[in-house]
């Protein structure tokens, strides 16, 4: 969906077309959940709950969205980031004690092994590098959009992604 199409859908939602909001949900729900899950150290169920809450909140606050200040995805992800960080603050002692399980696709053994290696390496990344890598590489956001979500500069995001790639490459090669 182009940015112009997205703005038209947003205008329709603000004008009361609830079905138009479904298009935005379909477009962003999965990536929003993944971003939130990354911030929550892969607590998928909590990430799903928070993503749903964020989407409801975005629906109610859509009239406040200013397309001159940011893209819709950036605005939505910033709300998601804020809610995820609030949840992290409340659950921090529990999250630090948990070790996330690795799940691999069931079919191809070599793909499963590669996935497991990558998953273990991702878990070892420093949090800021992990979030940067997830937003830019896995979610496909631009450095500019990711930097808005993380409240930093695009240059810092590039540096974090670069360091994450170096770490992951070295980690996978040594295993």
Where along the chain do its domains lie?
Answer: 1-100, 102-175
DSSP code, position 27: H
Cβ distance 149 to 78 under 8 Å?
yes
* Domain spanning 1-100, CATH class: mainly alpha
Q: Splitting the chain (175 residues) into consecutive groups of 10 residues, what average pLDDT does each group show?
A: 89 92 93 90 88 94 90 92 82 42 44 74 89 84 84 93 90 76
CATH (residue range 102-175): 1.10.10.10
Read off the pTM.
0.58
Angle at 45 between CA 140 and CA 35, to 5 degrees: 20
- Supply the pLDDT for residue 117: 78
Cα–Cα dist 75/10, whole Å: 13
């Amino acid at each position: 969906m182009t940015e112009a199409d997205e703005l038209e859908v947003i205008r329709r939602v603000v004008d009361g077309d609830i079905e138009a909001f479904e298009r935005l949900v379909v477009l962003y729900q999965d990536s929003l959940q993944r971003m939130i899950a990354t911030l929550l150290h892969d607590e998928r169920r909590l990430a799903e709950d928070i993503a749903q809450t964020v989407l409801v909140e975005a629906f109610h606050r859509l009239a406040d969205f200013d397309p001159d200040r940011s893209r819709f995805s950036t605005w939505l992800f910033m709300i998601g980031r804020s809610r995820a960080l609030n949840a992290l603050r409340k659950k921090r002692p529990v999250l630090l004690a948990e070790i996330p399980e690795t799940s691999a696709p069931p079919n191809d053994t070599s793909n499963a092994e590669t996935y497991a290696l990558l998953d273990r390496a991702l878990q070892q990344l420093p949090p800021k590098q992990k979030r940067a890598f997830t937003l830019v590489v896995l979610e496909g956001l631009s450095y500019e959009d990711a930097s808005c979500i993380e409240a930093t500069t695009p240059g810092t995001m590039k540096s974090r992604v670069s360091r994450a790639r170096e770490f992951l490459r070295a980690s996978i090669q040594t295993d």
